[in-house]
A and B are shown apart, each in its own frame.
Chain A
Amino acid sequence: MRPALIATALMFAATPGLADEPGPGGSKPPVPKTGAEVYRMYCQACHMPDAKGAVGAAAFPALAANPRLGSPQYAMFVVENGKAGMPPFKTALTPEQEAMLITYLRTHFGNDYREPVSVADVEAMRKAAP
């Protein structure tokens, strides 16, 4: 909690012209402990509980049966850096959480890529593209 609080304070100090934010408290949501929990907490807001995405004025892509998940590097890169409107999750997720998430995505929702993504893989990616 403490690092999060301090990080929040620093962010506010460094950012003139704040967006209309809820307030300064910083929230303390549950900490996801499995790939499924990470998905539920961060991903299904846009990609939906069935991972099939959704369509509005534009679309959120399906992660279900998505051949791009065949490349763990691609999945890690997008999760860490975001893509267009999708925010980056590098700071939100620990390497453990990210590894669990991508392993989960690669083996669920009609994806069948058995090779797990390890913490070392995520750390290597973070080192390569900080």
Chain B
Amino acid sequence: MGSGQQTPTRRQLLNAIGLMGGTAALYQMMTTFGHAAETRFDGPPNLSGARKGASVIVLGAGLAGMLAAYELEKAGYKVRILEYQNRPGGRNWSLYGGDTYTEMGGATQHVKFAKGNYLNPGPWRIPHHHRTLLHYCKAFGVALEPFIQFNHNAYVHTTEAFGGAPQRFRSLAADFEGNVAELLGKAVDQKALDTRLTPEDVDRLKEALRSWGMLDENMRYTKGLRSSSHRGFDLPPGGGVNGAPKPSDLFPFDEVLKSGVWAQMAFFMNDEFQTTMFQPVGGMGKIGEGFGRKVGHLITYNAKVTKLHQDRSGVTVSYTDVAKGGAAVEAKADYCVCTIPLSVLSQIENNLSEKKNAAIQAVPYSGQVKIGLEMRRRFWEEDADIYGGHSFTNQQIGLVSYPNNNFFQDGPAVLLGAFASGAGGFNLAGMTPEERIEVALKEGSVFHPESYRKEFLSGASVAWSRVPWAMGCCARWNEQTRRDHYQELVALEDRVVLAGEHASYVGCWMEGSLLSALDAITRLHKRALEA
């Protein structure tokens, strides 16, 4: 669209549509243009005009609870938060040197990491399209930095291929693509695709395969500078007399298939896992702290909720002080936003409806395990040219993930030595913290056998099954439970509404908890104004 033409600019068009059809039409049109396609967030809710004296009690000072409290207080409500822990943030959390953590069962860990180093036990990466979270990070002064999600030079390991030797992702991915391109090229030549494609399409496809798969002039994927420029060289290009590169050998295709690298390739294509991703500077827990700065004055810590009761006059919440002990006390409010994880809420006495309780009881929780290992030096950078990103394995630890900050620094650094889920997660969770570290060292050594144990200083682990205030990692819905219970779970019931990642379709992400909170309080506010 050149200047001087009479066609409206896109902005003018959007403005016009916005004026004519309101925000819904504008949103739809923006989606058509490819904007706003990946988020439901179009700004803070800007609630206002709460009835004088109206009050809300929020259960849980995780991100959902704190956002609900922040926006409701701004709208004019009298707000109070009850929190089981002695800190804000909920599952948004970092463990630093000097911290002490006691899990269910009583095992206590004293984290020994050097100053500034940390483990993010829960959330650790933020997709670029989780705009609610990004919005409030900016609004609350939480600095973000890149999270290195995709590193071609990290390793892929499986006990099922290459005799258990890890290989670089880029080499496996290049060989997978090269072989697929060659095979598809052969199918084209054998006219296997002629019914689907015009002759022009066939030509374009062959050119695409040649160029994407790094095929040679005969449409073959062969050892050479072309394939090596994707998969890596035996001797990389250099300067001067011996500057000429030497190409690398290709892997046998059957081993490439067995490596399962296609699963990693697909993983990185998932919209939650595409670059660019972010992390807070100084640890994920900085987000919880940022929210805490805004609503900390509303929070009662160490409050274990024992009963939730509503009637025509209001909501009564009973709680005990887990630090000081003593009998339960009552807190009253007109309304309640309950963000307690279902794993805990399912055991709290309440007078919500039978259907609501059936929904609360219907959702199982996952049990991931994260392990941080502090190493004396950054051998993955110094010896293996790996700067951030993940090396994947089919062992219990799942992966080793490298720190995304302080590159090239001397001194100790913490890598993520396990992100275990499924059977491996349960198995590691059932161990003592010392046993978990031993498994992490043993299995992680497959990537860095020379250094892994040698440079190890100390470790810390969090098994989400045993986290006292969550008793699980995240709500695990399936199609059946969504169909049978989701609408009932999120429905506002008289004076009580639930919020949290479990009340969203963005489960197990901070964005889900925030979107859920905004939706819940918007409905609650409407109800309160209509009352």
Binding site for B on A (CB under 8 A): 1, 5, 8-9, 12, 17-30, 40-46, 48-49, 54-60, 82-88, 92
Contact = CB atoms under 8 A, between A and B. Distances in A.
Q: Specify the main secondary structure of chain B where it touches its partner.
A: loop
Interface string B215-236: 0000000000000000000000
B179 to A, nearest CB: 18
30 contacts: A8-B263, A12-B266, A17-B272, A17-B505, A18-B270, A19-B366, A20-B124, A20-B508, A23-B392, A23-B398, A25-B158, A25-B264, A25-B393, A26-B394, A27-B398, A27-B420, A29-B396, A45-B427, A46-B104, A46-B367, A46-B465, A46-B471, A48-B104, A58-B343, A59-B347, A84-B347, A85-B341, A85-B342, A85-B363, A87-B365
Contacts of B419: 22-23
Contact of B105 (A18, A25, A48, A84): A48
A22 B368 contact: yes
Contacts of A58: 343-344, 346-348, 471
Contacts of A86: 364
Contacts of A54: 104-106, 466
A45 B430 contact: yes
Given A24-B264, A54-B466, A59-B347, 19 more contacts: A8-B263, A9-B266, A18-B273, A19-B509, A20-B509, A21-B421, A22-B398, A22-B420, A25-B156, A25-B393, A25-B394, A27-B422, A28-B394, A45-B429, A45-B466, A49-B105, A55-B104, A58-B346, A85-B341
A24 B474 CA distance: 18
B304 interface: yes
Contacts of A24: 260, 263-264, 266-267, 392
Interface residues of B, number: 73
Q: Which 3 A-B pairs have the closest CB atoms?
A: A56-B468, A85-B343, A19-B508
B405 to A, nearest CB: 19
Contacts of A18: 270, 272-273
A122 to B, nearest CB: 18
B266 to A, nearest CB: 7
B272 A9 contact: no
Given A40-B430, A54-B105, A84-B342, A23 B390 contact: yes
Contacts of B394: 25-28
Nearest to A5: B260
Contact of B346 (A23, A46, A85, A87): A85
Contacts, number: 173
Interface string B442-469: 0000000000000000000001011111
B469 A57 contact: yes
B285 interface: no
B476 interface: yes
A92 B419 CA distance: 19
A56 B469 contact: yes
A42 B270 CA distance: 29
A49 B104 CA distance: 12
A12 B270 CA distance: 9
Interface string B349-372: 000000000001101111110000
Contacts of B184: none
Which of B366, B430, B476: most chain A CB closer than 10 A? B430
A30 B427 contact: yes
